[in-house]
Chain A
Amino acid sequence: EEELVESGGGLVKPGGSLRLSCAASGFTFTNAWMGWVRQAPGKGLEWVGRIKSKVDGGTTDHAAPVKDRFTISRDDSENKLYLQMNILKTEDTAIYYCTTDYYYDSDGRQLDYWGRGTLVTVSS
């Protein structure tokens, strides 16, 4: 069964750093573009960024509010996705979800997986 499991969330002071991990299983991780989506308490969904598969270049894109502070990376040998978050701000407080950004099966159907999320709280 397909599964994404995030870890690494917690309480951090403004200006601090945190690294989130996402362990993937049950699907061909190397073929998937992977991403992070966040949701502040009581707010809507916000796209954080994504990393393409190695075969599609392995490049990253980050949303404007996190660009130059957050970095997405992947380790295909471990089937893991990462989000390095630096210079954290109170407005970064949110549940962070690991997702498949772009992943299709051999019949051309999109397969969409989400983790349960990990809570990041930025507060002094």
Chain B
Amino acid sequence: SYELKQPPSVSVSPGQTARITCSGDALPKKYVSWYQQKSGQAPVLVMYEDTRRPSGIPERFSGSSSGTMATLTVSGAQVEDEADYYCYSTDSTNNHRVFGGGTKLTVL
């Protein structure tokens, strides 16, 4: 079955840039979305179609994708950005959606 691979954890100090990667064989053909999930809360969409930011998401969040890797960048990370981040895309063989395993972002 199709897999999206993410690092388990990323850690930065406040004000630094955090980069969270997601790799998958179908990413050259399929868009990636990114979700932020804080403890005890439902996920929130922070990026879709690789680079588009939903209304209300701070500009410090940006996305990119090249080849089989997508990246979510948090420029000038804030303490409130601490959360689990999941990439999300589509299996090109059956159009089923797939989540990455998640990355815990620590900002301290």
Contacts and interface: CB of A to CB of B under 8 A. Distances in A.
B43 A47 contact: no
Contact of A45 (B49, B94, B102): B102
22 contacts: A35-B97, A37-B43, A37-B99, A44-B86, A44-B99, A44-B100, A45-B43, A45-B86, A46-B99, A47-B88, A47-B96, A47-B97, A47-B98, A61-B95, A97-B42, A101-B97, A110-B45, A110-B49, A114-B42, A114-B43, A115-B42, A117-B42
Give the interface residue-count category, chain B.
20 to 34
Interface string B78-90: 0000001010100
Interface residues of A, number: 19
Contacts of A47: 88, 96-99
Contact of A110 (B54, B94, B102): B54
